Amino acid sequence: MTGVWQAMAARPHRFLLSRWPVLCVAYLLSSVVVGVALVMALVMAILFPPAVAFLGLPVGALERRRLRILDRAPVPSPHPVPPPGLAAWFRARLGEGATWRELGYVLTLSSVLLLIDLISLGLLVDVLIVAAAPLFVAAGVPLQFGGFVIDGRGEALAATAVAVPATLIGVYAVCAVAGTQAALARWWLAPRDAELNRRVEELARSRGRLLNAFEAERRRIERDLHDGAQQHLVLLAMTLGLARLELDVDGDGGRDKSRMLLDDAQRQARQALAAIRELIHGIHPQVLTDLGLPAAVGELAERCQVPVVIDLPLPRRLPASVETTAYFVVCEALTNAVRHARASRVTVSGRLTQRRLTLTVTDDGDGGADPAAGTGLRGLADRTAVMDGTFTVTSPVGGPTTLRVDLPCGLT
């Protein structure tokens, strides 16, 4: 319920003496101005029809501010922060229901609401002019409405007697129109379930991307096992078989050959073990389970090819899901800094405040990182969304690049 309706319901006998009639008239007058401007904009948009889809964005922002005339409660924007990049911005806005709701409001405001506002204000002005008929007659200016002419004092007083109560009713009617239009605008531009719908849509998209990512990860693990550890183990089995055959050969030559084959088998076993350990580490590092996030990030820093400065003073262990998400954010950031950004220095910092972990990874590389252009950053955004956290990337061309993740976590 907007403020004007609350004022009318709370003190109807004092409503006309309050500021609300003036505010309502100001709201409708500004609605007429905006509506006429929109009609002109829609006519001009014929030259470039795709622009119509985005016309609701600035109008929605303006209308949410204009609603403050009648309702002091702020109207939040239903649009989430888009990913960086112009193309990503266009894709995000076209995929949001709020964009099309705002476009619907633009079409309504420039047609039906504009007509209602003009009629309401026109009738109120006419009634006010009739109520002031004695002043016009005294000034020698007759009033004419259709076939009626008011040019005498008696006629003017009679018209005033009828117009004064009509004016009071008209003021209430105009305020009712303004309150209804404001409530309709709030429903169009900031529905109560906008944030819930946005989160449901984003989680649905994240779930789909995560399912694809899980399937791709399963295929990667299968491929790594087949091409890496399995090949080493196959060679190991063949080498051991040859060594057994050589043992059956008499003489020192057979024993020497067996000894060489066993040495080769031992080397292949070490390679298979190293491949399996590397694969397991990529799935979930043991140091993260045993020692926690700071130690795991420290191990990543030791393996990184560029210097890494770590500022991660966590007072105690965090939930495993939070540690895993934060770990892979750092891992992906370090990989991108070395492989794509050509950075010479990376800083990892994190703080735990009010049961939320805020983790920031900054590098001095070339910048230009775009989550929409690659699967790595998009996967981190999906991981964070599932955790009900936020993930942002700031990466202007030329650097620096900053990855920031904010995760809710109860202390354990």
pTM of the model: 0.49
Task: Give the pLDDT confidence score for residue 382 in this predicted structure.
Answer: 75
Per-residue three-class SS string for 142-195: CEEECCEEECCHHHHHHHHHHHHHHHHHHHHHHHHHHHHHHHHHHHHHCCCCHH
Tens-digit pLDDT profile for residues 302-340: 888 888 888 888 888 888 878 888 888 888 888 888 877
pLDDT class of 412 with cuts at 50, 70, 90: very low
% of the chain residues with pLDDT over 90: 10
Please tell me the CATH code under which domain 286-408 is placed: 3.30.565.10
Amino acid, single-letter form, for residue 30? S
Tens-digit pLDDT profile for residues 154-192: 777 877 787 788 888 888 889 899 989 998 888 888 765
Tens-digit pLDDT profile for residues 11-51: 777 778 888 889 999 999 999 999 999 999 988 887 888 88
Q: Which residue did the predictor score with more confidence, 262 or 321?
A: 321
- 311 DSSP 8-state letter: E
3-state secondary structure of 191: coil
Among the listed ranges 91-95, 132-136, 195-199, 299-303, which one has the minimum average pLDDT value?
Answer: 195-199
pLDDT at 146 over 90: no
Q: For the chain, which residues make up each domain, given as ranges? A: 3-192, 212-283, 286-408
Structure tokens at 176: 């009712």
Q: Which residue did the predictor score with more confidence, 136 or 275?
A: 136
Using the structure block, give the residue that is written with the tokens 């633009």.
106
**Which residue in 302, 375, 288 sits closest to 332, CA to CA?**
375
